[in-house]
Structure 1
């Protein structure tokens, strides 16, 4: 944990964060499965609702405190130098990746999937270690395996279960820059390729859970890990991917990262310790507001620059996802530095 989070007084906030993390995780899976069970065929426009409706609630804000988290984790003051570092990181890395979308959109989409797999996986490794005390992830290799399994669930299971919708999403993102560009990815959606992905990833899931069970000193953390993993397998295998990703991004990944940022912020820790979740979240919202507004400016700029102006809900959602992609790459760098600071990949 960060410097503040290592103090004895953070025990109660960590427990509160753990309960919120698990609660919202359960809500993600249950809500998606209930929607699918209750509605025979949900119109496409409604499947986009969770993604679009949470743009300024969770989507853009969850990474909008990147300029604060590293100093807070190190118990250092926020300085012009620390702010300039993150600003320059976003400018150089984000802008460079934006250029890739314009010159090689199919490659940019593939990179987006890989980066998201890594990032969502690293977010869940943190949650398992810090919120669940997963002692079965005692080695660096087991944590790397958990990263690929947890990140692969939202990125690979829909590829196997819903290839047509997956291809549609790829076409809408790539089509903003090159209407014919998605053809380069067609081999990925062929039955043979998907079968290889399904078998290979299935082996990794089984291996991760089996090794975790073998290494677990206490069974409860492993049961939580196994329950979440298998629940997500069912979730992404049954819930249409546009709806599933919208729910997962907002209620699972973003919430867990927001909780992580709260646990390196002294006043937020104090609020969580007294059960005042609204005060903690209010502080986060205040801190995230400036860069959330900045992200909206980036979104507006992309809307003006893309060759194909989006005129439909899928097109607008695609533009938003491209914006998220551009912002995610520098965000991953910050989170990876935070991982190092909090010794997520250090084993005793």
Structure 2
């Protein structure tokens, strides 16, 4: 697995011959592993770990540190420009690069068609059945965030990952940490966010049964059991040496995220996770398939690679911000943070479906993800 993820290929290789290797156009010496550690590893561990320790300390000492309402929305607001929205704004270039090719009009047209068809269909679902669209978004994000972490685990080494069943379980665990654990600890806040999405379209849903103690207890026990079982399966496969070290990183990240989402208020926690965990890891992946970004990383470090990828993302990020601003002004959305957040999350939802399709295609092209070769 490590040879595949860290190997380099020439741009002219065919997609079929390169499918089992990480795409390293022009033989760029920067590896997926070093990019992921520098861009999606240490920054994420530091920020999430620091907030978790702070939250644990205040809980243990009984101190009350009030977080102003506006401050809870800051990470989500920042994600408009910092990592969050931009991490999907390179989708027009990423598939071609993952296939070891230059982006052409054919590639751009294909990506545009995916966004037009899937994004348009999902927008229609929000209008016709907002409650169903909201539930679908939770499930879709659950899968996608798990998908992103599975890729990161492979980039870190991945020798403790098993076959399809183990990889699916890993996706369920890693995606469920940000999408389910906040419901277990902060049910009313979780429900308030979902209700705000639906209210944008004049709909309503009775989700009281989800926030009731008994269903949450059952979900919690089931998810904890899945988490432990998945980690045990990885431990049995890891053997010793490097494989065991990779498993320890997986277990440490899983434990950290459990604590983070149990202790930190959900809007703040999910906003931070979206920016500095999920998005940075995908940006590391984007840099790994872009010869200019990998060259910048090798010569000048992680910041240079981030700036290079950010340049690619800037045009469509600007277009997306203009679109969401235009929608808000056209329909007369008020300036209440909850309403603005709901609108932003619905907009993100519409973009997430085609984004997931693109990332899933990249998984297949690079031989990673659920069907990744061992």
How would you bin the TM-score normalised by the shorter chain?
over 0.9
Listed as ranges, the matches of 1:1-348 within 5 Å are 1=5, 4-5=23-24, 9-12=28-31, 14-36=33-55, 37=57, 40-130=65-155, 132-178=156-202, 181=204, 183-217=205-239, 218-304=243-329, 309-344=333-368, 345-348=371-374
Residue segments in structure 1 that go unaligned for 5+ positions in a row: none
- Length-normalised TM-score, structure 2: 0.87
Alpha-carbon contact 2:28-2:291 (below 8 Å) kept? no
- Determine the C-alpha separation between the residues in 1 that align with 2:261 and 2:102: 42
Distance 1:9 1:77, change over 3 A: closer
- Determine the C-alpha separation between the residues in 2 that align with 1:100 and 1:35: 40
- Determine the C-alpha separation between the residues in 2 that align with 1:215 and 1:275: 37
1:305: how far off?
Answer: 5.8
1:310: how far off?
Answer: 3.3
Alpha-carbon contact 2:30-2:294 (below 8 Å) kept? no
- Determine the C-alpha separation between the residues in 2 that align with 1:124 and 1:147: 7
1:84: how far off?
Answer: 0.8
Say how many residue pairs are matched: 344
1:290-323: CA deviation from partner (whole Å, max 9, x where unpaired):
11122123313432465x7232112111111111
- Determine the C-alpha separation between the residues in 2 that align with 1:138 and 1:212: 7
1:230-261: CA deviation from partner (whole Å, max 9, x where unpaired):
00000001111000001000000000000000
Distance 1:296 1:219, change over 3 A: same
Task: Please give the secondary structure, in 2, of the residue aligned with 1:136.
Answer: coil
